[in-house]
Amino acid sequence: MYKKLFYFRLVYIYLKSKMAVKKILLYPNPLLLRASARIDAFDENIANLSSDLIDTMYDADGVGLAAPQIGINKRIFVMDCSREDEKKDCRIVINPQIEHVSEEFSSYKEGCLSIPGITEEISRPKVVKVVYQDLNGVLQRNTYDDLWSTCFQHELDHLNGKLFIDHLRPMKKILVKNKMKKSSKKEKKV
Ligand SMILES: [Zn+2]
């Protein structure tokens, strides 16, 4: 019994070492507030960056993660908005652009891995038609709806140095920022 546990522990440590879970930067880190650079080289570095993003996103139980959130100001994000009863469906999105937005809006209670503990109702276009490049640099066109659309827009904002709290009314934004400052002070004390 003991030997078996020891074996599982070794396997666990091995698997963890294969994963590259990065530290997620927290607001108001300046790297989160900067516009990210376009990607022109579709090489091993970008492939490694995308797998770091995927490992970090799943480890944090997120539905999306953008490169600036792990301190790299490049225009790439990953997202997986599949439901728990569906298969994993991770998309790697490079140099994204929105070509068309619906007139209809939908509202979601959004959160962000870089702004822990805060969720706010944010209204965004319900459907977006988008174009981006995949890991090989090949153009992909897609239409996203509902949560996928919200997530795409939230992650694209990150690449432009914008956070979901920037969509709030000014007074509300000040309240949320103050709450964040207080919680980061608390974290420093611990
Ligand atoms: Zn976010």
In tens, the pLDDT along 49-108 reads 999 999 999 999 999 999 999 999 999 999 999 998 999 999 999 999 999 999 999 999
What does the pLDDT read at residue 7? 72
Task: Note the pLDDT of residue 153.
Answer: 98
Residue 22 makes CB contacts below 8 A (sequence gap 6+) with 52, 55, 56, 70, 71
Kindly give the residue spans of alpha helices, DSSP state H, lying in the chain.
2-18, 44-59, 146-159, 170-189
Q: Are 67 and 74 in contact (CB under 8 A)?
A: yes
| Spacing, Cα 158 to ligand 1 middle (Å) | 7
Average pLDDT over residues 153-157: 98
* Residue 156 alpha carbon to ligand 1 centre in Å: 9
Task: Give first-to-last CA distance, the chain, whole Å.
Answer: 38
Is the CB of residue 70 less than 8 Å from the CB of residue 158? no
For residue 159, the CA-to-ligand 1 centroid distance in Å is 10
Alpha-carbon dihedral angle through residues 100, 102, 108, 113, given to the nearest 10 degrees: 0
Number of domains forming the structure of the chain: 1
- pLDDT tier at 190 (50, 70, 90 boundaries)? very low
Q: Ligand 1 mean position to 112 CA, how many Å?
A: 4
Q: What is the DSSP string of 57-82?
A: HHHTT-SEEEGGGGT--BSEEEE---
Of 96-105, 137-146, 180-189, where does mean pLDDT reach its minimum? 180-189
Q: Where in the sequence numbering do the catalytic residues fall?
A: 155
In angstroms, rounded to a whole number, what is the distance separating the alpha carbons of residues 65 and 32?
A: 12
pTM of the entire structure? 0.88
User: CATH number, domain at 32?
Assistant: 3.90.45.10
Tell me the mean pLDDT in the region 138-146.
97
How many angstroms is it from 18 CA to the middle of ligand 1? 25
Buried/exposed code over 5-25 (b: 16+ C-beta within 10 A; e: otherwise): eeeeeeeeeeeeeeeeebebb
CA-to-CA separations, 45 to 33, 49, 75, 77, 157, in angstroms, rounded:
23, 6, 13, 14, 23
Q: What is the pLDDT of residues 9-64, one digit of tens each?
A: 777 666 666 679 999 999 999 999 999 999 999 999 999 999 999 999 999 999 99
* Domain coverage including residue 64: 2-189
Residue 114 carries which side chain, given as an amino acid letter? S
Is residue 63 a contact partner of residue 81, using CB atoms and an 8 Å limit?
yes
Question: Rounded to the nearest whole angstrom, what is the distance from the C-alpha of residue 135 to the centroid of ligand 1?
Answer: 22
